């Protein structure tokens, strides 16, 4: 059984919209404001279209802004040595493509792909490339790689960590349509514990090493890993 | 793939479906995109920390690890799902629905309908919730695969997702019957009780005249005013009420025109409407489908079920397509003597026209409904213009020859009710000429 060609039912939603438009008021209430229709919502008054569109666009816009902020935060000061430039370019491409993927996620894929013109085929190939590659993962790796190129700056790295987690969460909310208040109500303890560990990691990095050898640095890393592992094991579900 | 079972009473979420797929379906679980992103962030942070020996990267990886570790989702290998279609037989443009429901409510369920070819969704095709209903229509007659329903399950943290896919049963879409309220009635009807007033006297309700009383007449039939005037007993006479045999002849050899309004579409819709109209008048109705593979037929019969039998026969005939077969004479069982034959044809196939002539010469009463509503494409070369004129002249000649044989021929565009073109023949009985 083939999977949907558009992530999270974008084409399906668009088809629903088309059908609703064709059927007049028969299915417009169900299909007009996107593909996600919670069960039992039929008796509720439909939300205005503008506010629904704004609610859907806000997490995506937040994801884009967080991605841009992470890139700018990590890139300063600019590095002209090593792989810094490459990592910066890769991260910019990844964040831009991820933003485009989110923005174009509801563009439908045509059912019949025969006898299409060259521009349409190019557009479809572009959409397929956007949807095929894991741009957010590439961006995260590139940003960490870029941060590694810089000399040690623990507080800066901790802020980047917070930004990256926020970026990943915003992308998740933007593409899944998950309710933001409910998500944070469910995971606030974990997020607070993560922020504490983030600060702990930064503080640990700022402590002077016991000795100048490489082994002492590794021991500090292992200590941080042990703390994180312990936190993961006891974190409330 | 789960199997089709009859809908059980008191089913889950009271899904009223004619055929229900209800099974413990196998679920294939995998990490969600969100989980993969968190995992990438954590792994990259830990790797960087280990390689460059900077503990702040462990802190960077910590929130992602905590988010991953906090979730302890259950992954049941099977879930109870019900998927049903409200109707497996429907008319064109009639609304039908696919009902879906999941028994397990510990997951966020998302249903996606992937409509098959020829299926037009009439509502949102992706819905979240434990139960959902997708409505759809079928724009054109035929046997259609409704498509598939995909179920995507998410845990509370959206870190894993499970997928199940169901193939929906096929639906039979019947042509939308044309509107017909009036009927063509023959002047000579078989001696069988029915609802049409015959020209012979009988026990019907339609008054035809007054005659002198003879012993044996019923007393209630005496016309007292006439008896008083004439001085002798007079009785009322009534017309007999008879039924007729109607044979619908559908030409499936030439399907020309735009899909949806092609000659075959119009023929099937017209035949379905005529079948319904004549069966409502207690006539016996049968059908003969002319096609490349020969003729398929259904003997005339009575009753509401006969409508569906006729439409089923017409749809089944559409599937048989064999080049090279030749027409022979129509089977006698399909054509009772004295039957009214209503033919729906674009009159393009010469062999069908010859079959009509043959039937007329055998004494059948024919009415031909011309359903040709297209012409060869217009081009600007002289040869094409001439060819088109010749084609038109041929068509006119075919129609002229049929009229010369005494075959009434009416043109129907598929939009107006069938009563309109048939009006000249429904006002009075059609004279049977042998």
Instruction: Write down the domain spans for chain B.
Output: 4-27+75-174, 32-73, 193-242, 245-426
Cα–Cα distance for residue pair B38/A62, rounded to 1 Å:
18
Residue indicated by tokens 């085929």: A121
Residue B63 clears pLDDT 90, i.e. is over it: no
CB within 8 Å of B25: residues ≥ 6 apart: B2, B78, B79, B80, B81, B151, B164, B166
Q: Do the domain assignments include residue A211? A: no
Cα–Cα distance for residue pair A16/A219, rounded to 1 Å:
57
Q: Which long-range contacts (CB under 8 A, 24 or more apart) does B5-11 make?
A: B7/B84, B11/B82
Strand partners, B296: B289
Cα–Cα distance for residue pair B249/B340, rounded to 1 Å:
10
Cβ–Cβ below 8 Å for A157 and B54 = yes
Cβ–Cβ below 8 Å for B37 and A232 = no
Residue A38 clears pLDDT 70, i.e. is over it: no
Residue of chain A nearest B148, judged by CA positions? A1
- Residue B283 near residue B254, CB atoms below 8 Å: no
Residue indicated by tokens 């399909």: B334
Within 8 A of B50 by CB-CB distance, chain A residues are 218, 221
Among B2, B50, B58, B132, the strongest candidate for a mutation testing the A interface, having the largest count of A CBs within 10 A, is B58
Note the pTM of the prediction, 2 decimals.
0.68
Cβ–Cβ below 8 Å for B36 and A9 = no
Among B61, B69, B113, select the one facing A235 at the smallest CB separation. B69
Sheet of strand B409-411: strand arrangement: B294-301, B284-291, B245-251, B340-345, B365-370, B409-411
Q: Do the domain assignments include residue A2? A: no
pLDDT digits (tens, 9 = 90+) for B13-35: 334 455 566 677 788 888 889 99
Cα–Cα distance for residue pair B371/B366, rounded to 1 Å:
16
- Residue A119 near residue A126, CB atoms below 8 Å: no
pLDDT digits (tens, 9 = 90+) for A160-205: 999 999 999 999 988 887 777 777 777 777 788 788 877 877 777 7
Within 8 A of B58 by CB-CB distance, chain A residues are 201, 221, 224-225, 228
Of the two residues A34 and B348, the one the predictor is more confident about is: B348
pLDDT number for residue A143:
93
Instruction: Determine the average pLDDT of the residues in A10-15.
Output: 39
Residue A94 clears pLDDT 90, i.e. is over it: yes
- Closest chain B C-alpha to A154 CA, distance in angstroms: 6
pLDDT number for residue B58:
86
In the DSSP assignment, the letter for residue B109 is E
Taken as a whole, chain B contains a residue count of 434
Cβ–Cβ below 8 Å for B63 and A161 = yes
Within 8 A of B37 by CB-CB distance, chain A residues are 134, 136-137, 140, 168, 171-172
Cβ–Cβ below 8 Å for A9 and B38 = no
Within 8 A of A135 by CB-CB distance, chain B residues are none
Q: Could you give the angle at which helices B56-70 and A135-149 cross, rounded to 10 degrees?
A: 150
- Closest chain A C-alpha to B395 CA, distance in angstroms: 35
pLDDT digits (tens, 9 = 90+) for A71-92: 999 988 877 777 788 899 999 9
Please report which confidence band the pLDDT of residue A15 belongs to, taking 50, 70 and 90 as the band edges: very low
pLDDT number for residue B266:
93
Cβ–Cβ below 8 Å for B49 and A225 = yes
> Does residue B202 sit at the A interface (CB-CB below 8 Å)?
no
CA atoms within 13 A on the CB side of A234: 6
pLDDT number for residue A197:
79
Please report which confidence band the pLDDT of residue A108 belongs to, taking 50, 70 and 90 as the band edges: confident
CB within 8 Å of A93: residues ≥ 6 apart: none
Strand partners, A236: none
CATH entry, B4-27+75-174, from 2.60.40, 3.10.100, 3.40.50, 2.30.30: 2.60.40
Residue B68 clears pLDDT 70, i.e. is over it: yes
Looking at the 3D structure of chain A, how many domains does it have?
A: 1
According to DSSP, the β-strands at B28-31 and B147-154 are unpaired
CA atoms within 13 A on the CB side of A115: 0
Cβ–Cβ below 8 Å for A235 and B63 = no
Q: Which of A187-196, B38-47, B95-104 has the highest mean pLDDT?
A: B38-47
Residue B324 clears pLDDT 60, i.e. is over it: no
Q: Do the domain assignments include residue A98? A: yes
- Residue B101 near residue A235, CB atoms below 8 Å: no
Residue A209 clears pLDDT 50, i.e. is over it: yes
- Residue B247 near residue B334, CB atoms below 8 Å: yes
Cα–Cα distance for residue pair A217/A227, rounded to 1 Å:
16
Cα–Cα distance for residue pair B68/B62, rounded to 1 Å:
10
DSSP result, B11-46:
-GGG---SEEEEEEEE-EEEE-HHHHHHHHHHHHHH
Within 8 A of A16 by CB-CB distance, chain B residues are 121, 123-126
In the DSSP assignment, the letter for residue A43 is G
Instruction: Determine the average pLDDT of the residues in B180-197.
Output: 86
pLDDT number for residue B61:
87
Residue A43 clears pLDDT 60, i.e. is over it: no
Among B54, B59, B112, select the one facing A161 at the smallest CB separation. B59
% of chain B surpassing 90 pLDDT: 31
pLDDT mean across residues, chain A:
73
3-state SS class at B142: strand
pLDDT number for residue B179:
93
Within 8 A of A201 by CB-CB distance, chain B residues are 55-60, 62
Please report which confidence band the pLDDT of residue B434 belongs to, taking 50, 70 and 90 as the band edges: low
Taken as a whole, chain A contains a residue count of 237
Is cis: bond before A77, omega within 30 of 0?
Answer: yes
Within 8 A of A184 by CB-CB distance, chain B residues are none
Strand partners, A223: none
Residue A40 clears pLDDT 90, i.e. is over it: no
- Which residue range(s) make up the domain with A19? 7-27+56-206
Cα–Cα distance for residue pair B149/A26, rounded to 1 Å:
21
Q: Do the domain assignments include residue A95? A: yes
pLDDT number for residue B138:
92
Residue A32 clears pLDDT 60, i.e. is over it: no
Instruction: Determine the average pLDDT of the residues in A115-134.
Output: 86
Instruction: Determine the average pLDDT of the residues in B104-131.
Output: 86
Among B55, B109, B155, the strongest candidate for a mutation testing the A interface, having the largest count of A CBs within 10 A, is B55
Cβ–Cβ below 8 Å for A4 and B66 = no
- Residue A100 near residue A128, CB atoms below 8 Å: no
Within 8 A of A37 by CB-CB distance, chain B residues are 124, 127-129, 132
Q: What is the CATH number of domain B245-426?
A: 3.40.50
- Residue B83 near residue B133, CB atoms below 8 Å: no
Cβ–Cβ below 8 Å for B64 and A168 = yes
Residue B72 clears pLDDT 60, i.e. is over it: yes
Instruction: Determine the average pLDDT of the residues in B256-272.
Output: 90
pLDDT digits (tens, 9 = 90+) for B218-254: 888 899 999 999 999 999 999 888 889 999 999 888 8
**Residue closest to B345 by CA, chosen among B283, B430, B409:** B409
pLDDT number for residue A41:
38
Cα–Cα distance for residue pair B304/B423, rounded to 1 Å:
25
Cβ–Cβ below 8 Å for A228 and B125 = no
Cβ–Cβ below 8 Å for A165 and B41 = yes
pLDDT mean across residues, chain B:
84
Within 8 A of A200 by CB-CB distance, chain B residues are 59, 62
Please give the C-alpha separations between residue A153 and each of A201, A207, B182, in angstroms, as whole numbers: 12, 12, 91
Residue B159 clears pLDDT 70, i.e. is over it: yes
Residue B335 clears pLDDT 80, i.e. is over it: yes
Within 8 A of B57 by CB-CB distance, chain A residues are 144, 147-148, 157, 201
Within 8 A of B131 by CB-CB distance, chain A residues are 39
- Closest chain B C-alpha to A117 CA, distance in angstroms: 23
- Residue B162 near residue B199, CB atoms below 8 Å: no
% of chain B surpassing 70 pLDDT: 90
CB within 8 Å of A192: residues ≥ 6 apart: none
Cβ–Cβ below 8 Å for A232 and B69 = yes
Tally C-beta pairs within 8 A across A and B.
234
Residue indicated by tokens 């054109």: B140
Please report which confidence band the pLDDT of residue B212 belongs to, taking 50, 70 and 90 as the band edges: very high
- Report how many helices (DSSP H) and strands (DSSP E) chain A contains, helices first: 9, 0
Q: Do the domain assignments include residue A63? A: yes
Q: Which long-range contacts (CB under 8 A, 24 or more apart) does A40-45 make?
A: A40/B129
> Does residue B54 sit at the A interface (CB-CB below 8 Å)?
yes
- Residue B92 near residue B134, CB atoms below 8 Å: no
pLDDT number for residue B11:
36
């Amino acid at each position: 059984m083939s999977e949907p060609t558009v992530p999270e039912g974008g084409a399906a939603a668009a088809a629903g919209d088309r059908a609703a438009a064709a059927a007049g008021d028969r299915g417009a209430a169900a299909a007009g404001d996107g593909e996600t229709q919670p069960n039992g919502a039929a008796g509720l008054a439909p939300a205005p279209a503008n506010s629904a569109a704004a609610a859907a666009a806000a997490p995506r816009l937040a994801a884009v802004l967080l991605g841009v902020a992470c890139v700018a935060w990590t890139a300063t000061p600019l590095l002209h040595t090593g792989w810094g430039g490459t990592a910066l370019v890769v991260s910019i491409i990844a964040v831009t493509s991820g933003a485009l993927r989110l923005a174009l996620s509801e563009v439908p894929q045509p059912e019949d792909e025969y006898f299409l013109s060259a521009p349409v085929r190019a557009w479809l190939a572009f959409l397929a490339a956007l949807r095929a590659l894991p741009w957010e993962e590439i961006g995260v790796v590139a940003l960490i790689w870029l941060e590694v190129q810089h000399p040690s700056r623990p507080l800066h790295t901790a802020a980047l960590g917070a930004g990256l987690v926020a970026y990943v969460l915003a992308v998740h909310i933007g593409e899944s349509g998950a309710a933001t208040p409910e998500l944070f109500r469910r995971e606030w303890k974990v997020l607070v514990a993560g922020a504490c560990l983030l600060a702990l990691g930064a503080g640990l990095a700022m402590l002077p090493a016991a000795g100048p050898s490489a082994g002492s640095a590794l021991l500090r890393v292992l200590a941080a890993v042990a703390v994180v592992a312990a936190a993961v094991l006891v974190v409330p579900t | 793939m789960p199997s089709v079972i009859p809908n059980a009473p008191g089913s889950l979420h009271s899904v009223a479906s004619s055929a229900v797929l209800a099974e413990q379906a196998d679920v294939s679980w995998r990490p969600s995109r969100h989980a993969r992103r968190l995992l990438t962030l954590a792994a990259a942070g830990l790797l960087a920390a280990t390689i460059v020996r900077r503990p702040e990267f462990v802190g960077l990886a910590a929130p992602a690890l905590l988010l991953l570790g906090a979730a302890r989702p259950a992954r049941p290998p099977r879930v109870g799902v019900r998927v049903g279609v409200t109707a497996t037989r429907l008319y064109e443009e009639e609304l039908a629905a696919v009902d879906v429901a999941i028994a397990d409510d510990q997951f966020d369920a998302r249903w996606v309908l992937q409509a098959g070819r020829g299926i037009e969704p009439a509502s949102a095709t992706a819905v979240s919730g434990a139960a959902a209903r997708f409505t759809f229509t079928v724009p054109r007659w035929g046997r259609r695969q409704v498509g598939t329903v995909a179920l995507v399950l998410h845990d509370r943290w959206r870190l894993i997702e499970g997928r199940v896919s169901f193939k929906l049963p096929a639906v039979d879409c019947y042509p939308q019957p044309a509107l017909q309220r009036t009927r063509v009635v023959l002047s000579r009807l078989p001696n069988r009780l029915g609802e049409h007033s015959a020209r012979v006297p009988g026990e019907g309700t339609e008054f035809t005249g007054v005659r002198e009383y003879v012993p044996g007449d019923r007393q209630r039939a005496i016309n007292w005013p006439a008896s008083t005037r004439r001085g002798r007993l007079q009785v009322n006479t009534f017309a007999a009420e008879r039924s007729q045999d109607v044979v619908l002849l559908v030409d499936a050899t030439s399907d020309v025109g735009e899909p949806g309004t092609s000659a075959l579409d119009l023929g099937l819709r017209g035949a379905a409407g005529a079948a319904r109209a004549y069966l409502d008048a207690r006539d016996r109705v049968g059908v003969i489908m002319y096609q490349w593979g020969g003729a398929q037929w259904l003997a005339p019969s009575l009753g509401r079920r006969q409508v569906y039998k006729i439409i089923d026969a017409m749809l089944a005939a559409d599937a048989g397509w064999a080049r090279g077969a030749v027409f022979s004479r129509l089977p006698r069982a399909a054509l009772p003597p004295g039957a009214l034959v209503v033919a729906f044809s674009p009159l393009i196939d010469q062999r069908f026209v010859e079959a009509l002539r043959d039937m007329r010469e055998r004494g059948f009463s024919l009415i031909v409904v011309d359903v040709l509503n297209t012409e060869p494409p217009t081009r600007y070369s002289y040869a094409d213009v001439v060819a088109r004129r010749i084609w038109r002249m041929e068509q006119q000649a075919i129609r002229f020859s049929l009229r010369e044989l005494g075959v009434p021929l009416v043109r129907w565009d598929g939009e107006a009710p069938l009563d309109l073109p048939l009006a000249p023949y429904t006002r009075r009985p059609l004279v049977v000429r042998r």
